[in-house]
């Protein structure tokens, strides 16, 4: 972990300030400040870099595109209110959606092939997504969808994108946007280097929130994320190298932190893993999982370190969640957690499964997982759930000083090779390796 941290350096910026109000922005929450923000960013970039300042006030805007050597800085009391009109996120840009490349709506904050960029300050980024806009596109009634409304689940939309990927249709020919209902991500640096996201609060996202893709040297520090919509993952580094996520707060409608590397054939085509990730001092509240790997991990995930994190909510499903399938393939290896404090989870404290969603011919590999000093007060349905294939078991799971209390089922382990236990106590009883029953049956997909 220390070796990885030594490679991660936050970018620094020239001492120049570019106040967006000097370029025509008005902070009344109604005036469209898109052109003013763009002009300030362009001027900052042309001058060699510096800080684009958003002063106190509410600034309505469309998508914001950050350029090299620019730090977009929100002062205390500043809010960027993002448009909920899909047309404002045109023209289409190269992006990645649920692990598949395409041309789609611009993310709300976007950067493409830039370096030395930042999003900082004490202000708020409000995507304004609700059950009245963006979220109904998921196609579920709990998010505002009503029968007869268009959504991403229509066959010509999400499924069409995945079909194009399986046929290797070039990215530039995968044109979506209007009429396809694939929601944009909130913050997506794409093919960028040297990134800092620090201090800001991000709320009400259409979809995935912090989603660096194919980036190197990423620092995400003291960021607060709150969004209860569908697929509003808090932080999804995707096919990134050298990432630090530190002292952040996640209260989300999906996974809090999820490490990814592409879906199925498209992920294998790009074949770039998510690697060298350090997560420390983070707080996870609601969500499907606290620290998650998958499920779009066809390019592999390796060398993941998480420590000193706190998780607690009756609406947090799991603490550690590794999810993949034989449609995904890929290698997940070298995952280390230590000093994890869990107040309550709804389902599993530790979940490792090879049977998430789809089935195919690409057998996944999961190996070398260690959890050291995890304390769980209320463990939900199952303490430890492991599901491997008979011909491809999960390999090398080591648990040290793990305590899981108030759980209905202590463990359910199928097809695991190389289990090590040291002071693992579930419901007050020490789990001894000689007594653990590992089943050999092959689970069928739901």
Q: What is the CATH number of the domain that holds 177?
A: 2.160.20.10
Query: Nearest-5° angle of CA 40, CA 46, CA 47?
Result: 90
Quickly count: other Cβ atoms within 10 Å of residue 400's Cβ.
Answer: 15
CA–CA distance, 417 with 414 (Å, rounded to integer): 9
Residue 216 lies in a domain: no
Q: pLDDT digits over 76-108, tens only?
A: 999 999 999 999 999 999 999 999 999 999 999
Q: pLDDT digits over 352-408, tens only?
A: 999 999 899 999 999 999 999 999 999 999 999 999 999 999 999 999 999 999 999
Mean pLDDT of 119-142: 98
Q: Which residues contact 387 (CB under 8 A, 6 or more apart)?
A: 352, 353, 354, 355, 394, 414, 415, 443
Residues 183 and 311 in one domain: no
Choosing from 73, 126, 255, 288, which is the catalytic residue?
Answer: 288
Q: Say if CB 431 and CB 425 are below 8 A apart.
A: yes
CA atoms within 13 A on the CB side of 1: 13
Q: pLDDT digits over 357-366, tens only?
A: 989 999 999 9
Whose structure tokens read 């998508």? 63
Domain span holding position 130 = 16-195
CA–CA distance, 404 with 333 (Å, rounded to integer): 24
- State the chain's maximal CA–CA distance in angstroms: 71
Residues 420 and 302 in one domain: yes
Structure tokens at 117: 């960029």
Residue 239 lies in a domain: no
Residues 430 and 335 in one domain: yes
Q: pLDDT digits over 224-269, tens only?
A: 999 999 999 999 999 999 999 999 999 999 999 999 999 999 999 9
According to DSSP, residue 261 is labeled -
Q: What is the mean pLDDT of the chain?
A: 97
Residues 292 and 146 in one domain: no
What b-and-e string marks burial along 266-305, b requiring 16 or more CB atoms within 10 Å of the CB?
A: bbbebebbbbbbbbbbbbbbbbbbbbbbbbbbbbbbbbbb
Residue 127 lies in a domain: yes
**Is 288 among the catalytic positions?**
yes
pLDDT at 146: 97
- State the sign of the Cα–Cα–Cα–Cα dihedral 316, 298, 360, 412: negative
Q: Last residue of some domain: 195, 228, 244?
A: 195
Strand partners, 367: 333, 395
Mean pLDDT of 192-206: 98
pLDDT at 408: 97
Residue 396 lies in a domain: yes
pLDDT bin (cut points 50, 70, 90) of residue 29 is very high
CA–CA distance, 161 with 155 (Å, rounded to integer): 10
Q: Say if CB 336 and CB 306 are below 8 A apart.
A: yes
Q: Last residue of some domain: 195, 210, 225?
A: 195
Q: Whose CA is closest to 387, among 325, 335, 317? A: 325
Residues 382 and 303 in one domain: yes
Number of domains in the chain: 2
Residues 326 and 186 in one domain: no
pLDDT at 41: 99
Residue 4 lies in a domain: no
Choosing from 236, 254, 266, 317, which is the catalytic residue?
Answer: 254
Beta strands 224-227 and 201-203, pairing class: parallel
pLDDT bin (cut points 50, 70, 90) of residue 443 is confident
Residue 235 lies in a domain: no
Residue 267 lies in a domain: yes
pLDDT at 446: 41
Q: Last residue of some domain: 195, 217, 242?
A: 195
**Is 254 among the catalytic positions?**
yes
Beta strands 394-404 and 416-426, pairing class: parallel
Residue 268 lies in a domain: yes
Q: Is 372 left (phi over 0), alpha (psi -120 to 50) or beta?
A: beta
Residues 353 and 429 in one domain: yes
């Amino acid at each position: 972990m220390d070796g990885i941290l030594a490679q991660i350096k936050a970018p620094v910026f020239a001492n120049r300030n570019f106040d967006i109000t000097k370029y025509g922005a008005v902070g009344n929450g109604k005036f469209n400040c898109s052109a003013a923000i763009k002009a300030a960013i362009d001027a900052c970039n042309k001058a060699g870099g510096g800080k684009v300042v958003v002063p106190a006030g509410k600034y309505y805007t469309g998508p914001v595109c950050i350029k090299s050597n620019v730090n977009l800085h929100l002062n205390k009391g500043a809010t960027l209110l993002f448009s909920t009109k899909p047309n404002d996120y045109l023209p289409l840009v190269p992006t990645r959606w649920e692990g598949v490349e395409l041309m789609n709506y611009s993310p709300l904050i976007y950067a493409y092939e830039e370096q030395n960029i930042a999003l900082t300050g004490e202000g708020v980024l409000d995507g304004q997504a609700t059950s009245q806009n963006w979220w109904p596109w998921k196609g579920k009634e709990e998010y505002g969808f009503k029968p007869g409304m268009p959504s991403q689940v229509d066959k010509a939309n999400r499924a069409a994108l995945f079909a194009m990927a399986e046929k290797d249709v070039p990215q530039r020919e995968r044109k979506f946007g209007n009429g396809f209902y694939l929601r944009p991500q909130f913050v997506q640096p794409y093919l960028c280097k040297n990134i800092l996201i620090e201090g800001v609060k991000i709320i009400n996202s259409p979809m995935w929130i912090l989603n660096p893709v194919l980036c190197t040297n990423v620092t995400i520090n003291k960021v607060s994320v709150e969004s209860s919509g569908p697929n509003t993952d808090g932080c999804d580094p995707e096919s990134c190298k050298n990432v630090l996520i530190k002292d952040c707060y996640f209260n989300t409608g999906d996974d809090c932190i999820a490490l990814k590397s592409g879906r199925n054939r498209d992920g294998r085509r790009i074949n770039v893993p998510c690697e060298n990730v350090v997560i420390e001092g983070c707080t996870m509240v609601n969500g499907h999982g606290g620290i998650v790997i998958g499920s779009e991990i066809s390019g592999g995930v390796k060398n993941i370190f998480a420590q000193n994190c706190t998780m607690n909510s009756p609406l947090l499903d799991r603490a550690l969640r590794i999810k993949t399938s034989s449609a995904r393939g890929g290698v997940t290896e070298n995952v280390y957690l230590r000093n994890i404090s869990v107040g309550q989870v709804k389902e599993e404290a530790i979940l490792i499964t090879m049977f998430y969603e789809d089935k195919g011919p690409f057998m996944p590999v999961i190996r070398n997982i260690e959890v050291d000093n995890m304390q769980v007060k209320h463990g939900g349905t199952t303490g430890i759930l492991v599901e491997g294939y008979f011909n491809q078991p999960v390999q090398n799971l080591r648990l040290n000083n793990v305590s899981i209390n108030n759980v209905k089922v202590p463990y359910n382990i199928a097809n695991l090779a190389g289990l090590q236990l040291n002071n693992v106590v579930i419901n007050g009883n020490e789990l001894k390796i000689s007594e653990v029953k590992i089943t050999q049956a092959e689970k069928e997909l739901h």
